[in-house]
Structure 1
Amino acid sequence: MKALILSGGHGTRLRPITHSQQKQLIPIANKPVLFYAMEDVIEAGAEEVGVIVGPNKDQIVETVRSRDWDAKVEFIFQGEPAGLAHTILVAEDFLGEDEFVMYLGDNVIKGGITRHSSIFRDLGPDSLVLLTEVNEPQRFGVADLDEEGRVKRLVEKPQIPPSNYALVGIYFFKPLIIEACKSIEPSWRGELEITDAIQWLIDNGHRVEASIVDGWWKDTGKSEDILEANRLILDEIEPKNEGEVKGSRIFGRAVIGEGCIIESSTIKGPCILGDGCRIRESYIGPYTAINRNCDIEGTEIEDSVVMEECSISNAGRITESLIGKNVKIRESGRRPAGHRLIVGDNSEILL
């Protein structure tokens, strides 16, 4: 089996962060979102991984190549986003006649996809789509299932949903999907929709099965989704301390990276500190991920994601925030009760 991971697009819902970095590289628990998808498909048996890249392709290539993967990785340039089905056509030469899993690179799913991969192999359908039960199906693409649990219809954001089962951005396909993608017309958005291609399979008598996700799933398209995914992953971390602790308290499940120095501070898990961080006279609270080489002094941070190389000094209380790379935040004399920040890379903020 091959894998096709989508890592293009502009990430407009995550600006200003995505003005300077690709959305799939935003870290969750100090690991790029894209890496969770890479690990999942390789664990499920993919020996060749095609990564669809777009305008910020150099960032993706550099980041993916920074790590050794137990699979052959190829980068496929899409250019401007033209729909999920279009990515399959762009990757036609890479896919060839092989079965493959298509995984949206900004999705995170608990427990990986090995179980779903086994179901695809055992049942042998032309497509297997992952579904999850949601409270507001009107916001999603929804599957209408028959009595045997097969997909008989897909409906995009229906006013009257036929079920509560929403499409997760993970799909298994036989090579017939390439013909389906060539047979459909662009939607009103001017894009080739994967739901239309799957519906083409159904309408032409081909079998589409469903596999239900029994754990959590997050599409990290917005800042609040990233923070929620960060909470979910930190909830499962195992504590580890490779740093130096001086006159500080550490309790709960905390991961403290190599070379960290914690002085006169309180660290309360679940949280994670990357390598080389310096924390002085500060409080790092639950559900906080601070990436490598950050310097934090006289500040309280909770329920937030702070990317690498940041310097935060006497900034009061920061909560539910997403802070980009190389950001400098420091006091300017005022003392507000707290801050909620969405800050792009290389910014400087006076509080």
Structure 2
Amino acid sequence: MRPGRAGVRTRAEGGDPVKALVLAGGTGSRLRPLTHTAAKQLVPVANKPVLFYGIEAIVEAGITDIGVVVGATGEEIRAALGDGSRFGARITYLPQDRPGGLAHAVLVARDWLGDDDFVMYLGDNFVIGGISACVRAFRTERPDAHILLTKVPDPSLFGVAELDADGSVVHLAEKPARPRSDLALVGVYLFGPAVHEAVAACTPSDRGELEITDAIQRLIDTGRDVRATTITGYWKDTGNVEDMLEVNRRVLEGLSPAVEGHVDDASELVGRVRVAAGARVERSRIVGPAVIGAGTVVRDAYIGPFTSVAEDCAVTGSEVAFSIVLRDSTIEHAGRLEGSLVGRSVRVAGTERAPRAHRLVLGDHSRVHLAT
């Protein structure tokens, strides 16, 4: 056990597991119009909400006491996660009255966290490989904070860290106009209780939020032990459609094929395809990796690689590839859809002859690409 932090009790290696603070209160503005009516953390990847992957990674790391910060979509998040028992965890919900930044979420959770160490996990982030190794290192080395970094092509979109020649963290900035490195903060942070004093000292940034980068910078400036690991594995912030489709592709690459539903003799499954119980595939061709949800009917259709069709959908006389289709949606005689994210209870229908004009009913912030 390393020397104790000033005024802070330390635990021996192998002591009680840390807590986890999962942030699920964001509004998902970059995924509109989908997130006008749904929580962005519950948009499915390979037919499972992206938030579930984070909860499962936390439990796999040995953390079962989880606080979930929720906002306007709190009831939907509660309905999906329940009390946490389905994950082998115990979930406490922590209401946040407004989106006030990552450090504000820590402030909201202050009483629940107490003086326990904790992992903060952004609910719309996706990390392949989990966080078990990071949690083990944190518990062994006992720093005041441990951040995960990854190299990105455009760091101005993220929190950015600057390291010295020894690899120590010397400077952090949130979405800087002129980044001082290409190292972005991954949405997983590990903290000891010293972070609470740093958060309490934060003032709103130019964005009007309490930034976690400012709190970590204060830890650095006051001589606290802040460490960083640069990961080389796959990480995505699933905040926009393109990233959702990319994560869906990566997850489907590891898909185990299974046919639990009905596939008739006139249909063909190629590669890694999963057909859930209650689904029906008739006179169709499905090229994997692809997953067809329970109760879904695919008839006289083609489902191409890297496509997830959720439960209780119908795809008829159409082609769908590299796309995500959410539950209760219908796609019929629609030609070919590619690189698409279709929301819940959507109907996409073609016509028997080429129309002279397009007829559209679109929500706010929609984007439509029409073939000429």
2:350 is aligned to 331
Q: Distance in 1 between matches of 2:42 and 2:26?
A: 12
Cα pair 1:17 1:343 within 8 Å, conserved: no
1:68 match: secondary structure: helix
Give the 5 Å matches for 1:137-176: 137-176=155-194
1:291 is aligned to 310
Give the fraction of aligned pairs with identical amino acids, expressed as a percent: 48
Summarize deviations over 1:200-230 as a string: whole Å, max 9, x none. Answer: 1000000110012221111011111111111
**Alignment of 1:113 onto 2:96:** no
Q: 2:338 aligns with which of 309, 319, 324?
A: 319
1:50 is aligned to 67
2:204 match: secondary structure: coil
Summarize deviations over 1:310-329 as a string: whole Å, max 9, x none. Answer: 11111110111111111111
Q: Distance in 1 between matches of 2:233 and 2:153?
A: 15
Tell me the amino acid that sits aligned with residue 208 of structure 1.
V
Q: 1:132 to 1:96 in 2, by over 3 A?
A: same
Aligned residues: 344
Cα pair 2:174 2:211 within 8 Å, conserved: no
Q: 1:25 aligns with which of 37, 42, 59?
A: 42
Summarize deviations over 1:319-344 as a string: whole Å, max 9, x none. Answer: 111111111111233448xx9x9987
Q: 1:197 aligns with which of 211, 215, 228?
A: 215
Summarize deviations over 1:31-59 as a string: whole Å, max 9, x none. Answer: 11110111111111212000000011110
**Alignment of 1:63 onto 2:84:** no
Q: Distance in 1 between matches of 2:51 and 2:154?
A: 26
1:34 is aligned to 51
Q: Distance in 1 between matches of 2:172 and 2:241?
A: 28
Q: 1:3 aligns with which of 3, 20, 42?
A: 20
Summarize deviations over 1:107-129 as a string: whole Å, max 9, x none. Answer: 00111101111121222110000
1:248 is aligned to 267
TM-score computed with the length of structure 2 as normaliser:
0.88
1:224 is aligned to 242
Summarize deviations over 1:278-325 as a string: whole Å, max 9, x none. Answer: 110000000100001111110100010000111111111011111111
2:86 match: secondary structure: coil
Cα pair 1:323 1:343 within 8 Å, conserved: no
Give the 5 Å matches for 1:92-107: 92-107=110-125
Q: CA deviation at 1:168?
A: 0.6
1:277 is aligned to 296
Q: CA deviation at 1:160?
A: 4.6
1:87 is aligned to 105
2:100 match: secondary structure: coil
Q: Distance in 1 between matches of 2:258 and 2:303?
A: 16
Summarize deviations over 1:225-253 as a string: whole Å, max 9, x none. Answer: 11111111111111111111111110111
Q: Distance in 1 between matches of 2:157 and 2:43?
A: 24
1:239 is aligned to 257
2:245 match: secondary structure: helix
Tell me the amino acid that sits aligned with residue 184 of structure 1.
C
Q: 1:304 to 1:26 in 2, by over 3 A?
A: same
Gapped runs of 5+ residues in structure 2?
Answer: 1-17
Q: Distance in 1 between matches of 2:361 and 2:305?
A: 19
Q: 1:96 to 1:334 in 2, by over 3 A?
A: farther
Q: CA deviation at 1:143?
A: 1.0
Q: 1:159 to 1:192 in 2, by over 3 A?
A: closer
Q: Distance in 2 between matches of 1:137 and 1:209?
A: 20
Q: 2:280 aligns with which of 261, 264, 286?
A: 261
Q: CA deviation at 1:29?
A: 0.7
Summarize deviations over 1:144-191 as a string: whole Å, max 9, x none. Answer: 112332211112334553332111111000011111110111111111
Cα pair 2:173 2:214 within 8 Å, conserved: no
1:14 is aligned to 31
